[in-house]
Every structure is written in structure tokens, then in C-alpha cells.
Amino acid sequence: MTNPLLLPRWDNAFDLPPYDMIRDEDYAPAVEAGLAAHRAEVESIAGNPETPTFANTVEALEAAGRLLGRVLGAFYTVAGADSTPAREALQREFSPKLAAHWAEISANKALFQRVADLWARKDDLGLNDEQARVLMLTHRGFVRSGAALTGAEEARMKEIKARLAVLGTEFTQNLLADERSWFLDLAEEDLEGLPAFLVDADRAAGREKERPGPVVTLSRSLATPFLQFSPKRGLREKVWRAFTARGANGGKTDNRGVAAEILKLREERAALLGYASFAEYKLETEMAGSPERVRDLLMAVWEPAKARAETDAAKLAKLLAADKVAGPLEPWDWHYYSAKLRAAEHDLDEAALKPYLQLERMIEASFACATRLFGLEFTPIDAPLYHPNARAWEVTRNGQHIAVFIGDYFARGSKRSGAWCSALRSQAKFPEVEAPVVINVCNFAKGDPALLSYDDARTLFHEFGHALHQMLSDVTYSSISGTSVARDFVELPSQLYEHWLEVPEVLAEFATHAETGEAMPQAMLEKVLGAANFDQGFQTVEFVASALVDLAFHEGAAPADPMQKQAEVLEAIGMPREIAMRHATPHFAHVFSGDGYSSGYYSYMWSEVMDADAFAAFEEQGDAFHPETARALEAHILSRGGSVDAAELYERFRGRLPGVEALLKGRGLLDAA
């Protein structure tokens, strides 16, 4: 029987992986076939006796590896969103093989020599701007991968890459194992004070875990609202301690030793390439450019955020005392008393708000905004998807196919935590025109109907902003399409799109009550928008603390004990004891599951400096859907991928780069500065 992963085209309307035909045992032989095909293609390019040209070297590399890419896209999509022991074993098998494969390509001297030859003659090749950019990125990628290394240093670099790949997979699987294994059984009396939507979600989680009653799991969509609504302080403490202990419970799933080894290997990798630290190596290609600029940004935000958080902590402590609770305010008290404070200051009750934020209506809202801004239309389609909860839409504009969008919204034990956007296929025009297939994965609690918190709704819009960046891409080469941009620029489209959730006319149309169908009352809408910056001290502190720890891990010598280093950083900045890092080291998947966000967790905030200023471009026109501004946003940012330097793209759109004041204003922290 033919392996369905190896078919030249999949037999469905949009060339999607035939998950209804693929078996887990198909992946390994398909990966081997993909590796062999890619290896042969690379050897052919490297051994080409003709003089190097852009076409026979760089474009040939762009065209190579298509089979491998299709197979890996299909596998890693399902491995992240619907993991099983068999798929986890395959991940452990594939990670060192793939690391060795890419290391072999980057260390191919004949191939690098061809690229270096082109780079030396770049001004005489007659390249257009996009080709020149691809050549620069290709050459830089080889150099930064260690292509110029020889002998023992070259061999050691290969070993480091292989080991880092194994450790990243191990970190991810350890974290998933801790999240999957822990749950707290709730007695009927433990449901006291919980709103109906949360009780329903806890009962659904209990059924999934095959328990006799409701449970709280370590899914953020269950743990956070439990901390927010449960009046039982002892239960809140249990949930909080379990949530913050993920990856640090001892035994075979403990990530502390894994993190330490990763940091040491990253330090060695940077040193082999001649950098003073891994942070210097990593930030060289980002908008920030240096660890110093990152620290300056984070500290400019830290002090006003900390001041606001301390002011809020004092208010929460008074509410705690009013409840006649002995002892100081603890981290597991913050969400509970913050909800009470918001109700008092803004007369806004999350339990009353949530029925107006139906998942289905928020999906419609995200689509409708894209229709008004960019002319996109979304039509549901039947497709062979990897899980029954996933759904697909064809995306068109003026009747022309643009993309396929897949949404996978509900939490389950087989899905890693968090939310993300990925692409089964990236947009390209070379070697043939390819429309993207884009996936948003979230972890919302199930319900009938499914209801979101306001933060959940923002997450949905955030990930859809990433999806738009992929879907509206209009470049020639896949290596620079969509979200293939500087890490501290990639969050701009996603964070910018969050702003449309807060546009009053959007909420007025789509925030309708789950039972009555009535629109959110004007008074509640005004309260929602008025409370948009509530608790920004807490949210900013937990984020910036994580970003500063990430930077400190990579800025100097790798710490032998990352937990001690984490504690030292938090003490040095005066971390409020009532607030925990958003991502403590043992579950800091952004930084340790791979090196995408290593030294780069700050990038969300760097992008926020721009997103606040970018939305102001619409506000200045008095129209959140101003057509000319939307066209400029697409033309200069969303469609260009990485074909132009990120700072230049932003300046083309806005005419200048913004300052940190835009961020402080957006978070309501200017008066705390």
C-alpha cells in the first residue's frame, strides 16, 4: 500500500494532508524518504560544475526539500495538537535526525562556497530587491549556523545542535506529561461560588479524565478562572502551587536539569561562532539588535508597572482583611480579589460578562473584521483534519482562493498548553504558486455553548492576527513569506489585531448573550472598555519578570543552577512577592522547547511598542476600518513577510519608529511612570 504522505499531491480540493488515511507508522518511513530526497537535492546543488548563479544555487535551495517539508508539516501539526505516546516517541526519534540533517547542510563546504561566491559578487548579479534579501539571509544563515567552522569546532557544533534538539523535545514532553497527569477532584461543595460556565467546564474535564465528578486541570482555561472565582482559599492554593510547579516535580519529568544543560550548550554554541554571549548572537538579527537595548526597554516599563502593581496589591490586601482572612496577600489570592476589585471599581462581573463572549460569535467577529479591513471571505469546508474538534474554512477575496484556515479551539489532554499559529504550507510563488494553509490552535474550555473570558477572546484575535500575516503574504520565496520575520517583529500583526476586539461597534454586533441573543448592553460595553487596562500592573510585572530572567540566562555565563539565577534576578528587580513570573524556568516553553524565543521573550513587548502606535494610525483617521490605512497596513507589513528589513517596513507604514510612550499609554501606565 502506498504511503499517503509520499503522494505527489493529496487527493482533496486543497491538497491537505489526508489525516483520514495516515497512520502513525507512516510517518517514520516518510520522514526517511523526505530526508533522502532533500539530501540528494542538496548534493546536486553543491556538486553543480557550473558557475554559481542565483538560480542554480539560491533558488535551487528554495525549491529543495519540498517532500520533507510536507511530511514534517503534517506530523508536527498533529504531534503538538493531538499527542499520543506513539507520536511522542516519533518526536524523540526525529529530533536528533533532523538536527543532524540541517547541521550537515549548513556544514556542506561546497554548498557554502557557492553561496559565499554569490555573496562576494552580489552587486554584479542584477538581483531585484527580494532576491538580494534572500541571498543576504541565506549567506547569513550559513555563517550563523557554523558553515565557516572546521575540524574539531565543526564536529562539536554538530554535536551541540543534535543534543539541543533532543533536549527541546524532552522539555516539551516533560511539561505536557505534568500538565496531563495532574488534576484536582472537586466535591459538589467545592463548586460553591463558581459560575455555571466554569462548573460545566469542570464537569466536562472530569468526564475527559474519566472521574466520577468535576475536576480542575492545569489547562490555563480551567486553572485561571478557578483561581478567579473559587472562595475556597485552600483549594486555590493547591491549584496555584500545582500550576506553578509544572516541570519541577522531581522524577523523570523534571525540567530543571534539562534547562541547565540547554543554557550551557547555547553558551558554547555562541562562543564557537565568536560571540560574547548567546544573547549577543541571538539578538544580532532582531530589531532590538543588542541585549542592552532589550534591557533598556524592559526596565523602562518595569518601574511604572511595579508601582502600579504595588498600589493594586495594597487594595487587594484590604479586601482580604475585610474577609477576615489571616496572613498577607498570597499569589493564589490575586486573581480572586482582583475580580472583586474590578467589580467594585468598574461594576464589571466576569461571570455576567462571559455569556456575551461566545466562542462562535468571537470567531465570526474575527472573520468580519478581516472582511471589512482586507476584503477576505470565509466559507466552511469539509476537509480531512487531524482531530474532530478542528474545523476548516476556505479564504477568498473577490472570488479568488487566498488560503485555507484551520481552527482548533478546545483544550484537551493531548494538546500542549498555550495558543499558537502554524502553517501546513507557506505562501510562495517559486517554484510554483502556493496558497497557504494556516492553523490557529487554542486551549479554550468546552461548553454548550463554549464561552470565553475577555482574555480568551483577545487570544483568539491575537492568533488570528498571526494567521492574517500568513494568509496575506505576497512574496516570491517561501523562506521569507508570512511570519518569517525578525522575532521581535512577528508579534506586531497579532498584537495589533487584538485592538479590533475593543472597537465598540465590533462588540456591539458580536457580543450577544448565549441564552437571549441580545446584544451586550451599552452600559456593560462601556464598563468592558473602561476596564480594558485593569490589572495592567500585575500583567506587566509577570511578563517583564519572565523576559528579564530569559535575558539574564543568556546574557553572560550560563548558570549552573537556573533556579538560583532566576531567584537572583527577581530579587534584584524587587519582584513583588504577591506575583509570580508568568513562565517560571521549568515550564518556560517559549525559551526551552526550542530557541525561537530564547533571549527573545521580550519581543511581545517590543512589538507592543509598535502595535499601539500602529492602531493609532486608524484612530487618527477616526475610523477603525479606514480603507486607505488598511490597504497601507497590508501593502507595507502584512504582505511583505521578511522581504524587507522590519524597521524599514514599519517606517514605510507609519513614517517613523515609535517610542516606549505608546506602550505605556496603551497599558494605562503613563501616570505610574
Q: Quick check: is 463 catalytic?
A: yes
**Torsion sign over Cα 196, 198, 199, 203:** positive
Strand bridging mode 377-381 / 391-397: antiparallel
Q: Quickly tell me which residue has 543588542 as its cell.
A: 290
DSSP 439-465: EEEEEEPP-SS-B--HHHHHHHHHHHH
Q: Quote the Cα angle for 599-601-605, to 5°.
A: 125
Q: Quickly tell me which residue has 465570526 as its cell.
A: 364
The CA distance from 268 to 355, in Å, is: 52
The CA distance from 116 to 118, in Å, is: 5
Q: Which residues pair with 393 in a beta bridge?
A: 380, 405
**598 and 591 Cβ atoms separated by less than 8 Å:** yes
Q: What element of type H or E holds 393? A: strand 391-397
The CA distance from 81 to 386, in Å, is: 9
DSSP assignment, residue 438?
A: E
Torsion-angle region of 418 (φ positive above 0: left; ψ -120 to 50: alpha; else: beta) = left
Q: Cell numbers at residue 45, please? A: 546543488
DSSP assignment, residue 407?
A: E
How distant, in Å, are the alpha carbons of 49, 182, 250, 416, 669 from that of 219?
Answer: 56, 10, 20, 9, 30
The CA distance from 241 to 575, in Å, is: 18
Strand runs labelled E in 193-271: 215-217
Q: Cell numbers at residue 552, please? A: 539574564
The CA distance from 232 to 383, in Å, is: 45
291-322 helix and 603-619 helix, angle to the nearest 10 degrees: 80
**Catalytic residue among 463, 498, 542, 555, which?**
463
DSSP assignment, residue 476?
A: S
Helix (H, G, I), strand (E, B) or coil at 183: strand
Catalytic residues: 463
